Amino acid sequence: MLPGCHLTPGDLDELRTIIEDFGLEPSFLPDLAGSLDGHIPDEFTPTTIGGLAWKKSRQWATRPGRLRLESKCAGLRKRWRKKPVFPTVSSSVFAAVPNDDFITFLSEISGKPVPMKYRRQRGQLVDAMLDAHFHIGGRKLAIGAEPDLLFDVSSMLHEMGAKVAVAVTTTESPVLARVATDDVLIGD
């Protein structure tokens, strides 16, 4: 899994749990969850702990079910195209539709049905989105964030009926074409 820089250590821990609930063994590149989650390891290390060793990353590229949660990994994807083709999904997990794609992907590559707890949580999400729609629907919003976070937050708010009137980000990214707004400004 190639997690975006906008994901927190808590996000990575939750993603790890979800992936393991499908009987899969996740590998993250990078995995900062073990280093930035507020604990002190028993032995000092000058680098982050956890994640995938650099030597193993080349073998990792040929493993089935790669998942990318960031838009800036195009260079790695080009390299991996030389390898055998396996199912790969580029996804966000913040909004309902991309989250559905993520859960469906895990179900397909694992061959296991979606666990009941995630079906229930999806129902809770839809109910919360419906409740929020009465407050957010039709509102015009401005969002300023780095490209992946901008896409994730704007997608979630768009699904609840908000209109992103102004979007400002820090740099060009392919994901910006998918932001539901008329124009994305790049700069301060």
Query: Tell me: the pLDDT tens digits for 125-182?
Result: 999 999 999 999 999 999 999 998 899 899 999 999 999 999 999 999 888 998 999 8
Is the confidence at residue 84, as pLDDT, over 50? no
Residue 164 and residue 60 in contact, taking contact as beta carbons nearer than 8 Å: no
Token pair for residue 22? 């499908």
Which 8-state DSSP code applies to residue 175? G
Is the confidence at residue 3, as pLDDT, over 70? yes
pTM of the model: 0.74
When mean pLDDT is compared across 76-90, 108-122, 138-152, 171-185, the lowest value belongs to 76-90
Task: Return the pLDDT at 96.
Answer: 85
Token pair for residue 150? 């901008």
Question: Can you tell me the mean pLDDT for 66-77?
Answer: 55
Is the confidence at residue 64, as pLDDT, over 70? no
Residue 5 and residue 70 in contact, taking contact as beta carbons nearer than 8 Å: yes
How far is residue 26's CA from residue 112's CA, in Å, rounded to a whole number?
Answer: 16
Task: Return the pLDDT at 32.
Answer: 72
Q: Which residues contact 82 (CB under 8 A, 6 or more apart)?
A: none
* φ, ψ of residue 81 in degrees (nearest 5): -65, -25
Task: Return the pLDDT at 85.
Answer: 47
Task: Return the pLDDT at 77.
Answer: 53
CATH superfamily, region 2-114 = Nitrogenase molybdenum iron protein domain (3.40.50.1980)
Residue 143 and residue 153 in contact, taking contact as beta carbons nearer than 8 Å: yes
Of 41, 74, 79, 36, whose CA–CA distance to 57 is shortest? 79
Token pair for residue 188? 């301060």
pLDDT per residue as tens digits for the range 4-56: 777 888 888 898 999 999 999 887 777 777 666 666 667 776 666 666 665 66
* φ, ψ of residue 164 in degrees (nearest 5): -80, 105
Residue 124 and residue 47 in contact, taking contact as beta carbons nearer than 8 Å: no
Is the confidence at residue 94, as pLDDT, over 70? yes
**Higher-confidence position of 31 and 103:** 103
Task: Return the pLDDT at 142.
Answer: 96
How far is residue 172's CA from residue 150's CA, in Å, rounded to a whole number?
Answer: 12
Task: Return the pLDDT at 71.
Answer: 54
Burial of 25: CB neighbours in 10 Å, binned 0-12, 13-18, 19+: exposed
Q: List the chain domain ranges.
A: 2-114, 137-186
